[in-house]
Amino acid sequence: MRVEANPERTLLLGACGVLVGEPMGPLFAAIGQAAGMEAEAVEAVFRERFRDDLWSGRLDEAVFWKQLAADCDITADPLAWREVLIGAMVSLPAVQHVEAWGSEARLVLVSNHRGEWLMPILDRRGLTPHFDRLYISSKTGLVKPDPKVFHTALESSAPQSALYIDADEVNLRVAATLGITTALAEPDGMWMHEVEEWLW
């Protein structure tokens, strides 16, 4: 059962690079290897053709795999590519702190992701019960860095009472313009000390 948190403070957490490993880099590398392309070229195709539609849920997953393969001039291998993607989403050290953080502040997940990819991982690792809300872009239709994402996640909370952690500086800059305190989730994990100082 979730412990009642301080409703006056909201801790907003991204998912990839914060709680779990970032999966798109390994995916682009795997597809690039199959296609004889640089991973950066695959990423460019993704960003130009698919990013917003995939993350917002407007694009069906099966259609995404088929169209991405066609754009890279290879045969789609969705089962193998999904395995690469899911396998890259390993638990990061912050996972161990989620329960404690959730007992001290209203804990909200804000992620550009597919619910069918992310939710099973959160559930298996026992993280879901510690969040007050889960805002996953494929379910909300809103994709960071759209300011509406942060307005929605805050609900009735004041921006000045929130701390937002993300691995993407673009998202952090937008949140900061709304008055939200931000911290970059760098690989060294020092940002976790910032969270604990803010909470305690």
pLDDT tens for the chain, 200 residues long, are 344 555 689 999 999 999 999 999 999 999 999 999 999 999 999 999 999 999 999 999 999 999 999 999 999 999 999 999 999 999 999 999 999 999 999 999 999 999 999 999 999 999 999 999 999 999 999 999 999 999 999 998 999 999 999 999 999 999 999 999 999 999 999 999 999 999 98
Q: Check residue 187 and report its DSSP letter.
A: T
On the 0-12 / 13-18 / 19+ scale of CB atoms within 10 A, 189 is exposed
Q: Give the pLDDT score at 6.
A: 58
- Cβ contacts of 124 within 8 Å, gap of 6 or more: none
Q: Give the pLDDT score at 107.
A: 97
Q: Give the pLDDT score at 156.
A: 87
Nearest alpha-carbon partner for 108 in 7, 185, 1: 7
The answer to whether residues 18 and 166 touch, using CB atoms and an 8 Å cutoff, is yes
Write down the residue that tokens 């099966």 correspond to.
62
Beta bridge mates, 56: none
The answer to whether residues 57 and 129 touch, using CB atoms and an 8 Å cutoff, is no
What predicted TM-score, i.e. pTM, was given to this entire model? 0.93
Beta bridge mates, 67: none
Q: Give the pLDDT score at 8.
A: 81
Q: How far apart are CA 143 and CA 127, in angstroms?
A: 22
Q: How far apart are CA 191 and CA 182, in angstroms?
A: 10
Q: How far apart are CA 150 and CA 170, in angstroms?
A: 13
- Cβ contacts of 163 within 8 Å, gap of 6 or more: 9, 10, 11, 12, 105, 180, 181, 182, 183, 194, 195, 198
Cβ count within 10 A of residue 60: 12
